[in-house]
Structure 1
Amino acid sequence: MAFDRLILKIVLDLLVLACVGVPLLVIHLVAEPYHRGYFANDLSLMLPYKPQTISEGLLAGVGFAINVVTIIIVEIVRNKQGRGLGDKFLFGNLISGWIWETYTSIGVFTFGAACQQLTVNSAKYVIGRLRPHFFDICQPVPNASPTLNALGYIQDFTCAGPNADVARLKDMRLSFPSAHSSFAMYSAVFFIFYIQVKGKWRGSKLLRHGIQFAMLIGAWYVGLSRVVDHMHHWSDVAVGFAVGALYGVIVFIFVLKPKKYGAPASWETGPPEMLPRPVLSR
């Protein structure tokens, strides 16, 4: 029965991930963002187009790599210290408890990443906020539509820019919120919480916190680079940070549930354990 429950758990985990991942894929491939208009004198949309410093692939690769490698190392060390969970049977074979814990932690991290990306990307398509380089890419030409272009707010226009291909015309409407900032902060918060709760060792206490700070600064830099690259307004990045941090906290505390790992090891060596009185009296 334990074997059957373990297989069922893996299958259900994959189904839940698919339920989150498939809508995210559909949004990217099929959905069309809301066509928001603009004011001709909006200076926040007149910044020049610049190539982005950090691509989506690079950010996703680094974010996943850091957390996955950290989880594997921590679980191996915990297992060697005798603080891991017991072994489990899978497909008729006995597997070490650290392997199952690694699978669980990576799965939870992936689930949270998919959820926060679905949240921010769905908001992008619903809001349709124009990026700061809108005028540079689109070079809009207003059409003769007195009803849609009333009071200086232009909704009916044609993009005449030489670089206004289909992909860029779609991307220029996906400014709010920043998915880069959201994923970067989510990865950082999950990493910080994970090594805080499970990455215990004796030695320099500041080393662990220094690594946590470096991860936080990395996420901070990702958000700043999106503003510097004219890909987002500062408010897009601020909301992205907030969504990512919120998901990082919720996923770690309520999905991974660190309480099940028991009390953390102390930094200090405690006093020697005293033998029970009946033993001392012999």
Structure 2
Amino acid sequence: MDVFCGKIMDKVKLVWSKTNRWHRAFLLLFLVELRIFPSGQIGFTCKDPALSHPFTGDTVSWKLLLATCILLPLVIILIVERKYNVDKSVNPKQLALFWYREHLFGVLVNLVTVQVLKSIVGSPRPHFFDTCSPKEALTCQDSEYVDSYTCTKAHWLSQSDRSFPSGHTSLAIHTGFLLAYYLQRRISPRSSGVVSAQVVLLLTAVYCGVSRITDHRHHWWDVVAGVVLAAPILVYTVLYSCSNFECPVANVDKEQSDGLILNNTETVEARTT
């Protein structure tokens, strides 16, 4: 039996050694979404007004948010590097793709962290009674606390208890603030148009978070948690992964790494292992 277990572990280690950070992050996200691991569940107080809002949809949908977080940075970074990169020894496209790639990995880490926390905490959304319709709510009295419940609306079984933290807010803050800071670092001198673009990016990110409260999709503390969660991931992405948006090398060679062209330098290699 010990020999068999040892062989299994050797195979697992071999497969793991052939994966990279992208594979591992996607695997964790996949496992969380399948709810393979035990998840938490915070109960509710009978007739709690904070959980009694009707579901009215999203001002900013998931599709729109993800499309913005994935496509907008690529367009902006490619345009800026092509127009404003003054270091002729560095290929603007390669540099842009490197930074874009690191942004995408930051988004992935952000998303995985949010989904893990949602699963662990299991916090009811403001429209909990409307979309979950727990059968226990029909018999509970006054301010009675119900610590375990079962939703009766199948479509919302895996969503009504995923309020904390706000994924919309976390991803919007990550992308909006990263792009605003990127423009600050890469365009000099900045024109009034660039400053206006930075303001729009920041205000749009904030608006996305505020809309989650006004749409009654999250409590205010969920949105604050989304901001707090985004901050360290954003700082790590900008200062470490993207080297504070400074050209890392004088000469750039083409090399395939994780499916994208990267700079062939010790600095880049250290950040992609």
In structure 2, how many angstroms separate the alpha carbons of the residues matched to 1:157 and 1:254? Answer: 44
Measure the CA separation in 1 of the matches of 2:78 and 2:244.
16
Q: Could you tell me how far 1:30 is from its partner in structure 2?
A: 3.4
Matched with 1:276 is: none
Contact 2:186–2:245, Cα closer than 8 Å, also in 1: no
Q: What is the deviation of 1:84?
A: 4.6
Identity %: 27
Deviation at 1:67, TM superposition (A): 0.8
Separation in 2, partners of 1:109, 1:206: 26
Q: Which amino acid aligns with 2:22?
A: L
**Cα pair distance change 1:100/1:173, threshold 3 Å:** same
Structure 1 gap segments, 5+ residues each: 1-11, 87-96, 144-148, 263-282
Aligned to 1:57: 63
Normalised to the residue count of structure 1, the TM-score between the two structures is 0.74
**Pick from 82, 86, 90: which aligns with 1:76?**
82
Match of 2:181 among 187, 193, 200: 193
CA distance in 2, matches of 1:260, 1:135: 50
CA RMSD of aligned residues (A): 2.7
Q: For the residues of structure 1 that align with 2:230 and 2:245, how far apart are their CA atoms?
A: 22
Q: Distance in 1 between matches of 2:65 and 2:187?
A: 24
Q: Does 1:153 align with 2:145?
A: yes
The answer on whether the counterparts of 1:34 and 1:173 sit within 8 Å (CA) in structure 2 is no
The aligned residue for residue 35 of structure 2 is 30
Residue 229 of structure 1 is matched in structure 2 by 215
Give CA-to-partner distance per residue, 1:38-92, whole Å, 9 cap, x none. Answer: 110421111111111221111010122221101101121244x4x2544xxxxxx
TM-score, normalising length from structure 2? 0.76
Greater Cα offset, 19-28 or 38-47: 19-28
The amino acid of 2:212's aligned partner reads R
Q: Distance in 2 between matches of 1:66 and 1:121?
A: 23
| Letter in structure 2 aligned against 1:187 | T
Distance 1:182 1:249 in 2: 13
Give the greater-gyration-radius structure (CA): 1
DSSP-derived class of the 1:159 partner: coil
CA contact (8 A) 1:20 1:115 kept: yes
